[in-house]
Amino acid sequence: MQLVSLLITTLLSASASLASPAGSKLVSRASTPNSYGVSNGFYYRWWTDGQGHSNATYTNGPGGSYTVDWTNSQGDLYGGKGWATSSPTRVAHYEGTFQPNGNAYLSLYGLNKSPYGDYRVLESYGTYNPTDYYPILGQVTCDGATYDVIDIIRYPEGLEPIIHQFYSVRNPKLPNGYVEGSIDLACHLAGWASLGLNVEVDTAYWQVVITEGYSSSGYSNITIS
């Protein structure tokens, strides 16, 4: 299992997540509880699947900053800051430290309205590169970087419709450690359309520069604007 399962777990846990108190403050402690809300003017979201995350913490920092610190965690976790509603013309700036040990992603993440699913603009990753396991449909160039494009199609049992997970994967990835850059989502959407992938962003849902981990360890301190 890889991080490509995030959309399915997000959708299945949506009702439970939305039951959390909006705007609740997160504190840095072992196994930070799932939550979402607004911190210093930015939407944040933190979630784990509860599978062995006793050493996983999420901390909101000043402005658009956040920290995720996890050690020998099992299963999925993700956290980050962004915006409560999505925009197809979003330009997200980020900088900070992304230092994974194992399977992890740093990306702009959101949900699609059509085709049903989610998308990521993946700036850096740990040991797992999804383009090693799924066909590359083409490349796009945005903000001076080249990205490989993939469409992962899921057929979840008992769920309709089919799930499409669209990725732009930076090639080469940003080296682990200090990272800095901008993500122009409109550029990626136009590039995907040129490859026959016409993706409509679901503006009713959040859009977050997110740190994800799966059965791994790592440290991420990111500031977005």
Q: Does 58 fall in a domain?
A: yes
Instruction: Reduce the DSSP state of residue 147 to 3 states and report it.
Output: strand
Q: How many domains does the chain have?
A: 1
Q: Does 22 fall in a domain?
A: no
Q: Does 129 fall in a domain?
A: yes
Q: Does 153 fall in a domain?
A: yes
Residue labelled with tokens 């402005």: 63
Q: Does 10 fall in a domain?
A: no
Residue labelled with tokens 């959101």: 110
Q: Does 12 fall in a domain?
A: no
Q: In whole angstroms, what is the distance from residue 120 CA to residue 149 CA?
A: 10
Predicted TM-score of the model (pTM) = 0.88
What is the tens place of the pLDDT at every residue in 157-212?
Answer: 877 789 999 999 999 999 999 999 999 999 999 999 999 999 999 999 999 999 99
- CATH code for the domain in which residue 49 is found: 2.60.120.180
Q: List the domain range (segments joined by +) for residue 185.
A: 35-224
Q: Does 93 fall in a domain?
A: yes
Instruction: Reduce the DSSP state of residue 148 to 3 states and report it.
Output: strand
Q: In whole angstroms, what is the distance from residue 158 CA to residue 156 CA?
A: 6
